Amino acid sequence: MNLLKELLLLYTRGLKSLVLGFCESVLFLVLALVVVVTFPVWLPLYLGLKE
Protein backbone atom coordinates (compact mmCIF):
# COMPACT_ATOMS: atom_id res chain seq x y z
CA MET A 1 0.00 0.00 0.00
CA ASN A 2 2.88 2.34 0.83
CA LEU A 3 4.46 1.64 -2.55
CA LEU A 4 1.26 2.72 -4.30
CA LYS A 5 1.29 5.97 -2.34
CA GLU A 6 4.92 6.59 -3.34
CA LEU A 7 4.13 5.90 -7.00
CA LEU A 8 1.14 8.24 -6.88
CA LEU A 9 3.30 10.93 -5.30
CA LEU A 10 5.96 10.50 -7.99
CA TYR A 11 3.29 10.57 -10.69
CA THR A 12 1.67 13.76 -9.41
CA ARG A 13 5.08 15.39 -8.99
CA GLY A 14 6.03 14.48 -12.56
CA LEU A 15 2.68 15.70 -13.83
CA LYS A 16 3.11 18.96 -11.95
CA SER A 17 6.55 19.58 -13.43
CA LEU A 18 5.23 18.63 -16.87
CA VAL A 19 2.36 21.11 -16.56
CA LEU A 20 4.73 23.80 -15.29
CA GLY A 21 7.11 23.18 -18.17
CA PHE A 22 4.20 23.29 -20.64
CA CYS A 23 2.94 26.57 -19.15
CA GLU A 24 6.44 28.03 -19.34
CA SER A 25 6.84 27.15 -23.03
CA VAL A 26 3.34 28.45 -23.84
CA LEU A 27 4.11 31.69 -22.00
CA PHE A 28 7.36 32.01 -23.94
CA LEU A 29 5.56 31.39 -27.25
CA VAL A 30 2.90 33.99 -26.42
CA LEU A 31 5.60 36.49 -25.47
CA ALA A 32 7.48 35.84 -28.72
CA LEU A 33 4.24 36.20 -30.69
CA VAL A 34 3.44 39.50 -28.98
CA VAL A 35 6.94 40.80 -29.76
CA VAL A 36 6.66 39.75 -33.41
CA VAL A 37 3.16 41.21 -33.80
CA THR A 38 4.00 44.53 -32.13
CA PHE A 39 7.41 44.73 -33.88
CA PRO A 40 6.27 47.21 -36.58
CA VAL A 41 4.73 49.35 -33.85
CA TRP A 42 7.60 49.69 -31.38
CA LEU A 43 10.49 49.64 -33.85
CA PRO A 44 9.81 53.12 -35.31
CA LEU A 45 9.15 54.41 -31.80
CA TYR A 46 12.45 52.97 -30.59
CA LEU A 47 14.33 54.37 -33.58
CA GLY A 48 12.65 57.75 -33.09
CA LEU A 49 13.68 57.80 -29.43
CA LYS A 50 17.24 56.76 -30.25
CA GLU A 51 17.84 59.68 -32.62
Q: What is the pLDDT of residues 7-49, one digit of tens each?
A: 999 999 999 999 999 999 999 999 999 999 999 888 888 888 8
- The whole-number pLDDT of residue 8 equals 94
Domain boundaries, the chain: 15-51
Torsion of CA 13, 16, 21, 25, to 10 degrees: 170
- The whole-number pLDDT of residue 50 equals 82
Rounded to an integer, what distance in angstroms lies between the CA atom of residue 17 and that of residue 27?
Answer: 15
pTM exceeds cut of 0.75: no
Confidence of residue 1 (pLDDT cuts 50, 70, 90): confident
Higher pLDDT among residues 1 and 50, named by residue:
50
- The whole-number pLDDT of residue 29 equals 97
